[in-house]
Structure 1
């Protein structure tokens, strides 16, 4: 009996060993051969093989090969290769994108992280196939991280159906390349654009835009913006250093605007003021501290146009100055919501002349004020007292982040 059990155990052991050797032989096959074999297997079988990245590659190949011409939407978020396969993007991502490109493609979203050892900003990993730029029915295109636009002077760009374009990529981008792409999108309505450049060419934004978010990073002065968009409703310009803002026309339909602009000196305040005045019909306005530093930090009063439709004003201040703030509020006659974030200490500039009367909005429309970064300086206390006394329709006043000791806080609140 014992001998039979021993013989059976040895037999089972030999079968397991033979099976393991067979698995080892399969695993040791060249990847191209392994992928070809796995491409004929059902998806569940592929996953059960445990072939890590190869399983994923073959799974995607399986899906694409079964219906290569009917794919309307593709979204690919590709992180670092866990097995250090440096050819992953070159062989797999490129083939996947090429398969879906065609008359049926409507949405393409690519987010490709760079290789772990790739610090070269001038050499992103993945170059887009030029055939992508002639997809007749592509409606939405999103390109993020390690992607190279690969647009040349001879590249044909025709994207007549494109409505939504998002570009947020690594590496330096030449402005003429961006302009060429935008020129080939005659019906684009939503543009989210972020890139790094040393180019000083004008960025020519399409006149069909309804929503614009743009951030252009540069080591020095960035390129100028050129836009004539009568249908634009939302604009967000951020992390943008400029010397001039050219041809910002027909912005009278903008409802919401957010500006994070960084002029190099007070000499450039005039184009910034020009842009702000072009947005005078907005209902919601957000100004960062890099913007208010130049507008409200100017040692002389600036001639703001009246923001006749403005309901919501959100200001981040490099320092607090009640005179300049009240002067701005005088230009917002129907303002309902005011949010203030004070980042620094007292104003280093004496600032603007005191206002002889209370702003109209404070008397008749302003119902909500939030003041973050309150430090208890006399100018801040005077402002709060003023709005509490003259704010006839005020319903809510929030004073947050009070960085003073408890005793002083009690005296202020009294």
Structure 2
């Protein structure tokens, strides 16, 4: 019998809400967290807007010994993990260390920490560079620090596939649950809003240079001109469904299916790889397009990529008008944190029977998709499809459903 992997805990750190309840309330009310960058002076840069996590003071949540050795990204991930474990009602001291794993996604590592240490190297010399630089910048540091802090020694890893990474990490966590691991902490959190990270993001030529927060990130709009970057993401607790029920855990829903593909060459308007990823995810979930109640879109806000995504969705759903939404218009694109946050949002949507809106955008009717805009839409949401695409050709799709 196939083991069912379910989500029992959610921890969120997002630009429009710190904590799951704050995030969900803001998202349903259409409150955006996008504004002028405050982490540094963006005046000299062509891009000046970002989604920054508000009101986060790491010292209020973490022991002082961790602060000198962690980047903002890792601090957000550690706190989100603490919240997810509490939400799941998990008492880690009662579990076997080797029966708990950690699988996270990352697209950049600890950029701000690395920048600070490079500044010391240039201005003061190598003896002033922190020994923690050896790992604080690394892609796998969130997985490592979560594992160490919580004594989790089971199967662990990190997935690096840009925006698609958050979904791919959940899929890898599900594989470990099916292989017998009792609990896996998974998801993704990124934070690259510092001058060094900013320059790296600018090199992609995919960022919006619009200074109006209400019009800077408008996917599926005729005036779409790139995305707004953001920081944050979500951490989820995944367990075997039978064991979760046995301990009386609250179950948000099941990670029912996953599909991933790779376009060998990033060709901008490519949609065949995304179509195939969705088809694989639906087959893996043993479900059909008729069962999908909502699609959480990738929403690149690039005209060619938006057209390709809309084309892929029309190819999958045919004449059926399935609701599509992109709440990330309120956070910016969070890179590896985006997919996990979209899955968390989809699970909250199932719980509330409410589809959160896509804000500020005026969808192009020629794209032929039913985009939920402006205000939330009441709906009986039982099954949701979440799609994500990463830079250079990564495609991923996840099906989540009520249990």
Give the alignment's TM-score, normalised by structure 1: 0.24
| Higher helix proportion (structure 1 or 2) | 2
RCO (CA 8 Å, sep 6+): is it higher in 1 or 2?
A: 2
TM-score by length of 2: 0.24
Larger gyration radius, structure 1 or structure 2 = 1
